[in-house]
Chain A
Amino acid sequence: MRASRREILKALGLGPFALPLLPAAPARAAGIASRLLCVVHTGGYRQLHWRPPEGPLTGPLPSSAAPLEPWKNQVIFLPGLANPHHRGSPEGAYPCVFYGLPQRTAADNYAEPLGKTVDQVVAGVLPGGPARALALHVQIDLPPVPIERGATRCLWAGPDQPVVPAGDPTAAYQRLFAGRPGDPGVSKLLLERKSVLDVVGKSLQRWRERLGPEERHVVEGHLQAVREFESTLGATQPGACTVPPVAAGDVRDPKLWSKILDSQLALAVAALSCGVSQVVTLQLSNSTGAGVDFGQFVPGVPALGTGSGPPGAGRGWLDLARNGTLGGSDLKRIVDRWLMEKLAGLLGRLQGVPVPGGTLLDGSVVLWGSQMHDGDGGDPRVAWLLAGRGGGYFKTGQCAPTAGKPLTGVLADICKAFAVPGQPFGPVHGTLNS
């Protein structure tokens, strides 16, 4: 007998139901950020149409950024940030985009960080620790994707420890939220899983004592991952929040890219609002972004095979950066604006979740970044956005004077907003703090 995975899950009583399994996150002190959402893509933005004048956001936003108009008091534009350790190509810059410190060259010739990326650093000081960091992606593994590790990994729990994101929102939803309170099948499955993980954990604990430091490090990472997984199972406890079921369809269908993005964003907000996680990361592209076909779902971008672009040109980030203009239309600019609509939608979702004393957005920090500035592969700068006041830390509503300043300053500010001890990314930027 050969049963499909779906059949077995069904047989085990799993299904997309409505209530979370975990209690809400413990409250943090006022004035300190409590939730972090990091989103990364490639290609940057057409600066002329995206970048507002430096200073307070008093005038209308440029056309690509216009969807953020209702949110401009909640955002900080961060154009022109310097990436001092840029490796000369956007591909090489991708793995360390949220790291920014001196790097190493991995066996596959991609740069890799020598420490944790900002999401992991912040997760380390939040309740639940790194165990509660949720990593997601949207079709970063669709072809053509370079086979090197650094082409798809940009978040790191440490040297040689890539954070592998989940690309199926339905599966992630089931893992995080499945089960009706009192459903005996689900309760039984969770208890079974915890029993097995307990055996696995003990086995790892004993085994590491018999190994040298190098091997012990590998086993300890495995043990930590098991604990992390176990913590997401949690105790079966009806929560106070309700989340809609997430279903995205075939996660490898390029036409569903936008739908999967929406599902992952919904999942991210659900995870943050229900306390399943305090840190969520979402990778929208691999190092090239060539696997996306925006022509499939972005209005105004013709589908592949139409128009008069270069032979074989795709409609992904890579091609838009190089051949963005088609028939007189700047498709890159259209996609930039569409992405800002998605960001605006995300901010709306966060704003729509009430928490004691305000909304989910108030205590959150959204880092929306790219390893590029405007699509020029040799340009070592990056253009980012911050959103959310982070519990009052950030001085939102401005286009910050970040030109030429190292991106590590922004990462340092984020760490400070979360009260991370020390200065893991060096000094703060200086003008982002309210």
Chain B
Amino acid sequence: MAFLCRARGGRGLTAIAGLLLAGLAFTSCSDRSATGTEGGGGTTGAGGSTTSGGSGGSVGGRGGTSGTGGVGGTSATGGSGGTGGEPPLNDSSRPGPRPLYRLSDSEYANTVRDLLGEALPTDAPPLQPGPDTSAFDTDLPVGSRISNSNDVSRVVDNAEMLAAQSVGRLSLLLPVDCPTGPADPAIEEMCIRRFIERFGVRAYRRPLDHVEQLEMLELYQRIRSPELGGSFQDGVRVLVSAFLQSPHFLYRWELAGPPTVSVDGSVIRLGAWEVASRLSYFLWASMPDQRLFETAAAGTLLNPGRIAEEARRMLADPKARDGLRAFHLAWLGVDGRRLAEKDASFSKYSPEIARLMLQETGDFAASVVQGGQADGRLTTLLTSSTSMLDPALAAFYGAPSPGAGVRAVALDRNQRAGLFTQGSFLATYADDKYDRPFLRGLAVTERVVCQDIPFPPDIFLDPMPEPKPGQTSRQRWEAVATETTPPCQSCHRFFNPAGYAFSHYDAVGAFRTSDNGTPVDARAEWTVNDQTIKFTDAVDLMRQLAPMPQVHECVARHWVRWLLRRSELQAEEPAIRVALQLAGPGADLRELLVALTRTRLFSQRAPSPGEPLR
């Protein structure tokens, strides 16, 4: 649905004045700089003081006392690897606290797949009703809160379903030398203890402590008790269900033992298990693999060089496609529901095309980073006219068929240039029938040049009038920008021109040369950070934007937000700059991601206010 913005009589300006007084930096859109360092983000504190590069030894490791037993070992923490807390890079950033967040639906599905070796069934109820996923200060996936019985019911339903399925693969879950059926009670208990220990470390992404192990064992014994009369398989099924319902599985907070705190209490060094999960959810959107667990257990994952080494390995792994897909969909703000809701008049469009569009974005991003042809360059991501298409989507775009399966397909270079001219982005920022230039312009403003536009307070959102005969979407929205009252105008005049660049694409992302019978005019001028860009269309706009340093910085900023699952703080800015330097002038995304894993933001955090440190 489209709505027309207009200020509520007399109160809008007052409210804006209030924001000014409150120091919230909203003057008018034309006054805004492109530095994009809003910070804030709902978290508090800036991480306290840090030592400058080269010292930082107060954030000590654990003296190299390595964990025992590898994955599934019983030690609470792995050793430090003996680096003595050397700062990862010579960056002066001061990490802030990390938010407690829950696995998103896609992270949950990936994690279940990697934990149980089985895909989440298609009829599994969504763990999180969509709107709640975007409850925080960004639209990054941070999971919704579990706050009533319906929420718990979804968790329970999924866990029970997955657990029931998993007992069909018992031999894959249990230690190799354990029987999958009736056995001597002593052997059975030994096997269950080992199962709890080994499966537990993978489910919680850290070793279980003694109490946790004991509770699970007691749960198993209760299922096997005469009162419940459960079989060995029942016991394992219920244990798997319990692990999947545990907060330590559902939330990202893999702290094993007390945190390692700097002498002044302002910095916490993440433990090896936390680093392993941070790596895996950053790059794979899933749990760590066996090698990461083993490296964590050995304690060597606290070494910044080893972290970077693992990051390179992981970027080359097929599972990086999941992480790249998840990040890019989040960065673009692409929402599958918006893609699905299109008018029936788009006869070539279908839910299957919508699904393929989401797949295209993930596959294309992965193709820039992975494989023999990948150059890793941000410019390629933003301007390439080659995409990864399957035959149906190629036909929709009017491109040559790739044959069977998904292949690289050269699109018309005058029509498509990178991510922001792909169907997933274009159809998301449109309503069911009409493209919405202002939404596309706003998305480019916030996601490509990182200028955040605050929503004006106290406005009416009136129904958008239907287009007049021969009126293009651009003309329709230009009229809106003229007719609306000043608080709306100042912002729309700022970001609408960027949206006009996309006038060649209709509400489902198909290319067009005319709109409502009138030839498309996608030319405009857009002033960003005192620099005016003149462009002829979206392809031209993206080619001009791609090499701009502020665009590189913005992309790095979004990766930092993805890593932290919150907006960056002012004190964390140095890490962005350091990572960009390491990424080189061409902004090699692979180097950027590896560099980010070497920053303080990756391996340290500030305590949350009031967090017990012992």
Query: Which residues on A are within 8 Å of B, measured CB to CB?
Result: 1-6, 8, 11-12, 87-89, 91-92, 105-109, 130-131, 133, 135, 141, 143-153, 157, 160-166, 171, 175, 188, 191-193, 195-197, 199-200, 202-204, 206-207, 209-215, 218-219, 221-222, 224-226, 228-229, 231-232, 288, 290, 310-312, 318, 322, 377-378
Interface residue? B187 (CB, 8 A): no
The smallest C-beta distance from B221 to any residue of chain A, in angstroms, reads 10
B150 touching A164, Cβ below 8 Å: yes
In the assembled complex, the Cα of A310 lies from the Cα of B168 at a distance in Å of 56
B247 touching A209, Cβ below 8 Å: no
Given the known interface contacts A11-B164, A163-B148, A203-B248, the answer about A89 and B611 at a Cβ–Cβ threshold of 8 Å is no
Given the known interface contacts A147-B130, A151-B131, A221-B145, the answer about A210 and B337 at a Cβ–Cβ threshold of 8 Å is no
Q: Return the chain A residue nearest B241 by Cβ.
A: A196
A3 touching B165, Cβ below 8 Å: yes
The smallest C-beta distance from B52 to any residue of chain A, in angstroms, reads 27
B145 touching A322, Cβ below 8 Å: no
Interface residue? B152 (CB, 8 A): yes
Q: Return the chain B residue nearest A188 by Cβ.
A: B228
Residue among A92, A211, A225 making CB contact with B146, cutoff 8 Å: A225
Q: 14 other contacts beyond A88-B461, A149-B134, A195-B219, with CB at 8 A cut-off?
A: A147-B130, A149-B135, A150-B131, A160-B145, A162-B147, A188-B229, A196-B156, A200-B246, A212-B611, A214-B609, A214-B610, A225-B151, A226-B146, A229-B149
Q: Return the chain A residue nearest B454 by Cβ.
A: A109
Given the known interface contacts A222-B247, A229-B156, the answer about A377 and B241 at a Cβ–Cβ threshold of 8 Å is no
A-B pairs with beta carbons under 8 Å apart, 5 shown: A89-B460, A149-B135, A192-B238, A203-B247, A322-B463
Residue among B132, B248, B455, B461 making CB contact with A105, cutoff 8 Å: B455
Contacts of A4 in B (CB 8 A): 121, 123
Contacts of A377 in B (CB 8 A): 460-463
Near A by CB (< 8 A), chain B positions 158-186 give: 160-161, 164-165, 168
Contacts of A130 in B (CB 8 A): 148
Contacts of A204 in B (CB 8 A): 247
In the assembled complex, the Cα of A131 lies from the Cα of B145 at a distance in Å of 16
Query: Which residues on B are within 8 Å of A, measured CB to CB?
Result: 1, 3, 8, 97, 100, 118, 121, 123-125, 129-132, 134-138, 144-153, 156-157, 160-161, 164-165, 168, 211-212, 215-216, 219, 222-223, 227-230, 234, 238, 241-242, 245-248, 253, 255, 335, 337-338, 340-341, 343, 432-433, 455, 457-463, 466, 607-612
User: Which of A3, A106, A107, A221 has the most C-beta atoms of chain B within 10 angstroms of its own C-beta?
Assistant: A107
A166 touching B165, Cβ below 8 Å: no
In the assembled complex, the Cα of A131 lies from the Cα of B148 at a distance in Å of 8
User: Which of B153, B607, B612 has the most C-beta atoms of chain A within 10 angstroms of its own C-beta?
Assistant: B153
In the assembled complex, the Cα of A5 lies from the Cα of B229 at a distance in Å of 24
The smallest C-beta distance from A398 to any residue of chain B, in angstroms, reads 34
Q: Return the chain A residue nearest B12 by Cβ.
A: A88
Contacts of A166 in B (CB 8 A): 150, 153
B246 touching A203, Cβ below 8 Å: yes
Given the known interface contacts A4-B121, A199-B242, A212-B608, the answer about A165 and B150 at a Cβ–Cβ threshold of 8 Å is yes
In the assembled complex, the Cα of A337 lies from the Cα of B271 at a distance in Å of 63
The smallest C-beta distance from A156 to any residue of chain B, in angstroms, reads 9
In the assembled complex, the Cα of A288 lies from the Cα of B2 at a distance in Å of 12
Contacts of A206 in B (CB 8 A): 211
User: Which of B145, B216, B241 has the most C-beta atoms of chain A within 10 angstroms of its own C-beta?
Assistant: B145
B238 touching A195, Cβ below 8 Å: yes
The smallest C-beta distance from B541 to any residue of chain A, in angstroms, reads 26
The smallest C-beta distance from B437 to any residue of chain A, in angstroms, reads 19
The smallest C-beta distance from B166 to any residue of chain A, in angstroms, reads 10
The smallest C-beta distance from A13 to any residue of chain B, in angstroms, reads 12
Residue among A147, A196, A378 making CB contact with B131, cutoff 8 Å: A147
Contacts of B3 in A (CB 8 A): 89
Q: Return the chain A residue nearest B336 by Cβ.
A: A147
B1 touching A312, Cβ below 8 Å: no
B611 touching A211, Cβ below 8 Å: yes
B245 touching A144, Cβ below 8 Å: no
Which 5 A-B pairs have CB atoms at the shortest separation, nearest pair first?
A212-B608, A212-B611, A149-B131, A229-B152, A229-B149
In the assembled complex, the Cα of A312 lies from the Cα of B466 at a distance in Å of 11
B608 touching A215, Cβ below 8 Å: yes
In the assembled complex, the Cα of A319 lies from the Cα of B125 at a distance in Å of 30
B131 touching A152, Cβ below 8 Å: yes
Contacts of A108 in B (CB 8 A): 131, 134-135
Q: Return the chain A residue nearest B229 by Cβ.
A: A188
A143 touching B152, Cβ below 8 Å: no
B212 touching A203, Cβ below 8 Å: yes
In the assembled complex, the Cα of A14 lies from the Cα of B149 at a distance in Å of 19
Contacts of A148 in B (CB 8 A): 131, 134
B123 touching A5, Cβ below 8 Å: yes
Contacts of B248 in A (CB 8 A): 203, 207
